[in-house]
Amino acid sequence: MFIDKPYFKVNREERFYCFLLCHSLLMSEIVREGFTNLINHKIGKILDVRDLEVYIEAAVLRDFWYDLGNPKKYDDKTHSRRQELLLYLLKKFVNLPKTVIDINDNDYDFLWTKKSPKKLWNPGHWNETCIKNNKAGIEKEQVDKLCKIKWAFNAKPDIMLVSNNHVVLIEAKLSQI
C-alpha cells in the first residue's frame, strides 16, 4: 500500500495500538496479569486482574451526565440530579456559591440552554467565550477552573481501566523510533 510497506508501519493513530492492547487485555489472561502487575508496580496495588474492566476512549463525565436523565424528556428529576452535580462541581472545584445556578442570572447564562424550557447544559457544551467574558466579575482563577470543567466533560482518555473502585486513565502517545 505504501511503497511495499504494510499500513501498520506507517499508521500514526495511537487508538489502533490502544485497541490492540485492550483486545489483548480482554482476551489473554497472561497479558492481563502482566499489565496489571506493571500498573500496580508503578502506582500501587490498586488493580485486581479478576475484577478488571477495560474501556477505549471513554467519555466518563459526559456519559455520567446523560445517565442522570433523558435530555429529550427533561423533567424535574433529571433537572434535580444535574443541578446537584453542577452545584457540587462549582462549589468543590471553582468555589462559587449556589446562587450561580439561577435561571434569571444572565451572568451565568452559559449554564443554560437558550430554548424554552431552559435546561442545564452538559458542561461539555458550555460556551467558553461566554465564560471568559466574565460578566459576573469572578476571578481569573475561577474562570480557568470553569473552562477546565468544560474540558473534563469532553475528555476521552485513550484507555480507562476500572477495578476495586479505582480508575486508571491512560493517554497514549505514539512516538517514532
Higher pLDDT, 14 or 55: 55
Tell me: the pLDDT tens digits for 107-121? Answer: 678 888 888 778 899
> Would you place residue 79 in the very low, low, confident or very high pLDDT band (cuts 50, 70, 90)?
very high
The pLDDT value recorded for residue 144 is 93
Residue range 22-35: average pLDDT?
A: 96
The yes-or-no verdict on residue 49 having pLDDT over 60 is yes
- pLDDT > 90: what percent of the chain? 60
pTM over 0.85: no
Residue range 64-91: average pLDDT?
A: 91
Dihedral sign for Cα 54, 22, 66, 153, please.
Answer: positive
Residue range 144-163: average pLDDT?
A: 95
- pLDDT > 70: what percent of the chain? 94
Do residues 62 and 122 touch, judged by C-beta distance below 8 A?
Answer: yes
Greatest extent of the chain over all pairs of C-alpha atoms, in Å:
64
The pLDDT value recorded for residue 104 is 58
Residue range 149-168: average pLDDT?
A: 95
Helix (H, G, I), strand (E, B) or coil at 125: helix
Helix (H, G, I), strand (E, B) or coil at 104: coil
Which helix (H) or strand (E) element contains residue 160?
Answer: strand 159-163
Instruction: Please name the residues in contact with 58: beta carbons below 8 A apart, sequence gap of 6 or more.
Output: 156, 157, 160
The pLDDT value recorded for residue 57 is 93
Do residues 159 and 54 touch, judged by C-beta distance below 8 A?
Answer: yes
Contacts 24+ apart (CB under 8 A), 65-71: 65/122, 65/123, 65/124, 65/153, 66/122, 71/119, 71/122
Q: Give domain limits for the chain.
A: 7-58+157-170, 60-154
The pLDDT value recorded for residue 6 is 80
Size of the chain, expressed as the number of residues it contains: 177
* Range ranked top by mean pLDDT from 19-23, 72-76, 170-174: 19-23
